[in-house]
Amino acid sequence: MDATNDTTTPASVSLPPPAVVERTRAPQSRLWWSLPLLTVSWLVLLSIVVASVVAVGLWEIAPGSAEEVSDRMSLDEAETSGVERYEPGSPVLFVTALGNRLTALSALIASIDPDADVQTRSERFGDIAPSEQRRLGFQSMTTSKQIAEFVALRRLGYDVSLEWGDIVIEQLVCADEPAELSACRQLNPGDTIRRIDGTPVSDLEDLLAALTGRTAGEVVVLDVVPHGETAEVERRVELMVSPDDPSRTIIGIVPADTRTVSLPFEVAIDTDQIGGPSAGLAFTLALIDELSPGELTGGVRVAATGTMSADETVGAIGALRQKTVAVREAGAEVFLVPASQSEEELAEARRVAGTGLRIVPVASLAEALAALEELGGGIGATATL
């Protein structure tokens, strides 16, 4: 036997066939529901995007900011070269509220925010166009600064004077059913009155004198310059009884405060796009602090709000709740507010102020200065830090 063939090989054994792996298919129901869910998700996302950019006919009054007046105030160095200035250790804060138009999404958010007040167009602007109210707001802010400068410098003994300006209509007084010739129908906010029955009226004192002895129902001829124009036009207007005083006869307008002041040096307060007169008290106190020795606030973080009149009266303001929230968030300890606010408004301000912020109502500049003295401050006071 051939040795090379003396080998054996293992016996061949047949292998079992490979197992068949069954592929599992996704249930049809899962695919059926995924497409609608995806569609709904995209629709929700799209709705949110649209709602965040589409404006609606609603506005909000919301907390703004509380800032140091001194950061925004400057005096002409050349004009004040002989004037002693004092850097405040704890500057007075002025406070703002926001009044933005809302989108659909922000309106929904504001409606559930307890510190926001959502208003309709008529509630926000009344019969005045939004653009016109903004113009009047900026004008009143300008006047507010001038009155604050006048009051502060007069209080410190400087030689100052105050002069009336043009008769510019800020608002109209409208009866429930205005007569055809009423001011409500014949005049517009922003119009400037130049003459009444041919008699020139350059300021409110002239106008009051021209109305003396006149009766309700009498028709007068007014020469006015419409807002945004330069030429005078005639308007026949029927006088009316004042809704506040039946013994007075009025045209039916609320004039804008257009007074201007004469100061020994220029004071600049940068208010950017802030409108309205409510910072008058804060501006007055801040300027007194800047130009007088000592620590007016006694080292206490003090905010103030309220209009300021030439006779040093502090007047009521709007959005007190929202401003109180802004002052609280700024960490102020005392908030000087107008005593002429309603009891409900003052109670609400105290509620949102909490225990860390003291609300102090004041009716005049004298009362505000007295309140600061109680804190250890005042003109010539030393801070107790």
CATH number at residue 91: 3.30.230.10
In a domain, 124, yes or no: no
Task: Note whether 154 and 282 are same-domain residues.
Answer: yes
pLDDT at 277: 82
> What tokens does 358 get?
């003291």
pLDDT at 239: 95
Task: Note whether 181 and 274 are same-domain residues.
Answer: no
pLDDT at 115: 73
Task: Note whether 266 and 152 are same-domain residues.
Answer: yes
Task: Note whether 192 and 336 are same-domain residues.
Answer: no
Of 255, 288, 306, which one is at a domain's C-terminal end? 255
Task: Note whether 275 and 155 are same-domain residues.
Answer: yes
Of 208, 227, 255, which one is at a domain's C-terminal end? 255
Task: Note whether 267 and 347 are same-domain residues.
Answer: yes
Of 231, 255, 279, which one is at a domain's C-terminal end? 255
**CA end-to-end span of the chain, whole Å?**
122
pTM reported for the whole predicted model:
0.71
Task: Note whether 155 and 285 are same-domain residues.
Answer: yes
Full domain range(s) for residue 362: 63-99+140-160+262-374
* Alpha carbon 158 to chain centroid, angstroms: 31
Backbone angles phi, psi at 127, to 5 degrees: -95, 5
* Alpha carbon 371 to chain centroid, angstroms: 25
Return the closest-CA partner of residue 268 out of 253, 283, 255, 282. Answer: 283
pLDDT at 86: 83
CATH number at residue 196: 2.30.42.10
Task: Note whether 271 and 210 are same-domain residues.
Answer: no
Q: How many domains does the chain have?
A: 2
pLDDT at 333: 96
Rounded Cα distance between 245 and 44, Å, is: 57
Task: Note whether 231 and 301 are same-domain residues.
Answer: no
Task: Note whether 342 and 209 are same-domain residues.
Answer: no
For the chain, which ranges sit under pLDDT 50?
A: 1-13, 382-385
Q: Are 105 and 58 in contact (CB under 8 A)?
A: no
> What tokens does 236 get?
């026949």
CA distances from 25 to 22, 29, 30 (A): 9, 11, 11
Task: Note whether 150 and 271 are same-domain residues.
Answer: yes
Which helix (H) or strand (E) element contains residue 346? helix 343-353
In a domain, 228, yes or no: yes
Rounded Cα distance between 105 and 51, Å, is: 5
pLDDT at 329: 94
pLDDT at 131: 65
| Percentage of the chain modeled with pLDDT above 90 | 43
Task: Note whether 204 and 289 are same-domain residues.
Answer: no
In a domain, 47, yes or no: no
pLDDT at 244: 81
In a domain, 281, yes or no: yes
